[in-house]
Chain A
Amino acid sequence: MKRTALALLSLALLGSAALAQQVTIKINGYGGTDPAIVGDLINKFVKPIVAKDNINVVYEPLQGDYNKALTTLLAAGNAGDLLYLPGETAGGFIATNKLLPLNGLVSTTPFIKSLNSVFTVKGQTYAIAKDFNTLSLVYNKDLFDEAKVAYPSANETWKSLAAKLTAVKKALPSGYYGICLQPSFDRFGAFAYAEGWKQFDSAGKTNLLSKPFVDAFTWYTSLAKDKVGVTPSEISQGWTGGCMQTGKVAVAIEGNWVAGFLKDNAPNLKYGSTLLPKADATGKRGNFLYTVGWAVNAGTKNKAAAIRVLNALTSVDAQNYVLSEGLAIPSRTALQSNAFFNKPGAGPENARVVFQGATDGFVTGFNFGPAGADWSKIVDTALASVLSGQKSVKDALASAQADMNKLQSR
């Protein structure tokens, strides 16, 4: 009896020693659909790898405004061991010195170079891109068929696309539109890049009155004339994916995320995807590289374990899963020839186009610079005022440039 009790006691002691060694890595990321996706990713691909090292992984989503919530947690020293680092706000977070430089800890070579550069400041890389997206031209096949207009192709220029959209609008009844135009830089910017526009000059200033920007701005907003183009709010939608869902808009400019959205919300919609049109002046396309990286909290007590989890999250298997689910395009160079891209269907087709978009023409990482979201709000306001017919291109850009000068001289 005594022996049994002793054995049980020693077993319990051993168990508790093992438990004491177990490390929990907390991950901070977006709310919304991410907890389900990342939860799956952790359970299927991360836990099996790191469990043998006694590492447990917990995902803690930050609801609401992620950037503000993360700022508070980092300042208070309560942020997770691993975090999502959005490409567009990376600059502000890297400046806090609360992120661990990954040089020498994680190999960046297997990942797409341009994506690494989004998270690199003064030679130090602070995050590994978990995946990426670019923009593609998504079109409603039924509306083009009904209007007897040929589908947009990869050879389209701004001029030829505008002609097709006008023809579609004319052929369809009232309430149908050619294109859904988001009044924001995150879509329009790609067209400015196509004209060869640079977001910041060598002194870090932005010129909204340069010819390339004005030309792109004029073309984009000219589509609103005669209601060929419509803003999402005009048809009670919040974004251009919502416009597509209604089935009343022939074309939208979106990333690979639209495939999952349309699969769930408009399963019967027949759509196709192609590359963005080329600017007539340069013969080139422009595009954004949207990305979110995995960064390590510099204050983590479990640096080695956090790096292990980061490696598991960006492993070949994990990225293959993200791609096959139609969520995003993997950031590993080796996976760019994945068989998924060649599968038939609207989803894989869109993924293929989004992947091609990353290397075709003038492609730039989606970033607002050091002023953060205030920078883009100036362009967004100008776009909204012209698209809604309140201001002329000239007036809107003049006041936007004045605001930009104020912002950048602070």
Chain B
Amino acid sequence: MNQKGQTATAYLFLTPFLVVLAVFFCFAFLRTIYYSFTDFNLFDPPKLIGLKPYTDVLGDSSFRRALANSLLFAVITTTLQTVLSLLMAVALNRKIRGLSFFRAAWYMPSITSSVVITLIFLWLFQQQGVINYLITQLQSVWPLILTFALILIAVQVIQVLWEKSRKLPVGSFDPALLAASALIALFVTWGLSAAGVVTAHEVVDTVSRPGQITPFLYQYFADKWLSIGGVQIISVPLMVIIFMNTFTTIPTLMLFFLAGLQNIPTALYEATEIDGATPFQQLINVTVPMLRPVSFYVITVGLIGTLQMFDQVAVIGNAAPTDTLITLAYYVYANTFKSGVAPVYMASAAAIILAIITLLLVTVQRRFISPDAV
């Protein structure tokens, strides 16, 4: 039971936090609700105009695209990052050599600023970036790779058949035979290349002729879409952002799963081993159910974070067409900060819709993954 005065002390300690919350969250949130029913434009005094901001926003095709992009981004990224971080945690929970190195290495993307990572990705994915360069190189040495692969398969088949004809127990992918096949394939390919029979393609920057290729200059941050039946579903730039976001958030989420894994009693695994369960069955029937409270937290944090994704879009900015990347958070920002007068009432309405969607999604997932059920 609390002694008299303890509650007051608790509130005293909480005061700084409560003041900050009241000023920067509650006040701001209430003002946003108020602005979402007015014609506020940053400069003129706001006048109440009822639900018009909401109808304007819902009628704006840019908002609808932002909504679709945000939802797609949230669902795909949250799914990817949750599944991959769980697998990563399971892998790093095993006693393997150099475990601390791998844990530290995998955590690196998480401690790097997302703006820095975005800039690195912009560099990787630009028209003359590393990704296009690697694809160009791959295209130019393609004949050599193909030759190597064909010879490797042929030699391996011959070796396996030879061994089998001698009634020796040998698998198709026998590592010793594979190593020998690879070595032979390497030498033969090198020989064919030196003799000029098989050569790499020449890279030229004008129209290519037979035996030449032009550099692969795919523009990732361009108006490229994955369409189904003429409907633009998801853009290529957004897919790049999903890849990038998953890459940067996996480490943090993996840490939560690792902490959760430490709390699962080893007796459970031992029991399933006695019952003859495979590692996959252990993962599905022991690890996943036991990690439910952590999974709930990870998915909640993931959904909220991805629905409010802003920084990557802002940094990429003009490098990609607006529709390909626009998210709800960016829509709110773009409609607030223009040159001079701005439709802040529309931004406010969009912000409120974003808040409602976030609440809805978290509530829905709470029904499916209750944190208490184990």
Does A373 sit within 8 A of B, measured CB to CB? yes
A153 to chain B, nearest CB (A): 27
Question: A388 and B318: CB pair below 8 A?
Answer: no
Question: B42 and A71: CB pair below 8 A?
Answer: yes
Question: A381 and B206: CB pair below 8 A?
Answer: no
- Could you tell me the distance between the alpha carbons of A97 and B341 in the complex, rounded to whole angstroms? 10
Question: A381 and B42: CB pair below 8 A?
Answer: no
**Which of A230-238, A282-290, A337-345 is the contact stretch?**
A230-238
With A67-B339, A96-B341, A385-B222 as known contacts, state yes or no: A374 contacts B128, CB within 8 Å. Answer: no
Does A353 sit within 8 A of B, measured CB to CB? no
Chain A facing B: main interface SS: helix
- Could you tell me the distance between the alpha carbons of A348 and B115 in the complex, rounded to whole angstroms? 41
- Report chain A residues within 8 Å CB of B60: 410
Does B322 sit within 8 A of A, measured CB to CB? yes
Does B191 sit within 8 A of A, measured CB to CB? no
- Could you tell me the distance between the alpha carbons of A227 and B205 in the complex, rounded to whole angstroms? 7
Question: B223 and A385: CB pair below 8 A?
Answer: yes
A208 to chain B, nearest CB (A): 15
Question: A390 and B219: CB pair below 8 A?
Answer: yes
Does A203 sit within 8 A of B, measured CB to CB? no
- Could you tell me the distance between the alpha carbons of A380 and B322 in the complex, rounded to whole angstroms? 11
Q: Give the size of the chain A interface in residues (CB under 8 angstroms).
A: 42
Does B138 sit within 8 A of A, measured CB to CB? no
Question: A92 and B338: CB pair below 8 A?
Answer: yes
Question: A384 and B219: CB pair below 8 A?
Answer: yes
With A372-B338, A410-B60 as known contacts, state yes or no: A98 contacts B43, CB within 8 Å. Answer: yes
- Report chain A residues within 8 Å CB of B323: 403
- Report chain B residues within 8 Å CB of A226: 206-207
- Could you tell me the distance between the alpha carbons of A175 and B217 in the complex, rounded to whole angstroms? 15
Chain B residue with the shortest CB-CB distance to A233: B127
Q: Which of B204, B205, B338, B341: most chain A Cβ within 10 A?
A: B341
Chain B residue with the shortest CB-CB distance to A95: B341
Question: A68 and B223: CB pair below 8 A?
Answer: no
Question: B205 and A388: CB pair below 8 A?
Answer: no
Does B211 sit within 8 A of A, measured CB to CB? no
- Could you tell me the distance between the alpha carbons of A312 and B127 in the complex, rounded to whole angstroms? 47
- Report chain A residues within 8 Å CB of B318: 377, 380
Does B213 sit within 8 A of A, measured CB to CB? no
Chain A residue with the shortest CB-CB distance to B323: A403
Q: B321 contacts which of A70, A236, A381 (Cβ < 8 Å)?
A: A381
Question: A97 and B43: CB pair below 8 A?
Answer: yes
State which residues 194-240 of B face A: CB under 8 Å: 204-207, 217, 219, 222-224
B298 to chain A, nearest CB (A): 35
Question: A96 and B222: CB pair below 8 A?
Answer: no
Chain B residue with the shortest CB-CB distance to A169: B206
Question: A71 and B339: CB pair below 8 A?
Answer: yes
B267 to chain A, nearest CB (A): 58
Q: A390 contacts which of B206, B223, B339 (Cβ < 8 Å)?
A: B223
A366 to chain B, nearest CB (A): 14
Does B169 sit within 8 A of A, measured CB to CB? no
Q: A95 contacts which of B204, B207, B340 (Cβ < 8 Å)?
A: B340
Question: B223 and A381: CB pair below 8 A?
Answer: yes
- Report chain B residues within 8 Å CB of A74: 43, 340
Question: B340 and A93: CB pair below 8 A?
Answer: yes
Question: B337 and A71: CB pair below 8 A?
Answer: yes
Does B126 sit within 8 A of A, measured CB to CB? yes
24 A-B contacts (beta carbon < 8 Å)? A68-B337, A68-B338, A70-B339, A71-B337, A71-B340, A89-B339, A89-B340, A93-B339, A95-B340, A96-B43, A174-B206, A233-B126, A233-B127, A233-B128, A234-B127, A235-B128, A373-B339, A381-B321, A388-B217, A388-B219, A388-B222, A390-B222, A399-B223, A406-B62
Q: Enumerate chain A interface residues (CB-CB to B < 8 A).
A: 65, 67-68, 70-72, 74-75, 86, 89, 91-98, 174-175, 226-227, 231, 233-236, 372-374, 377, 380-381, 384-385, 388, 390-391, 399, 403, 406, 410
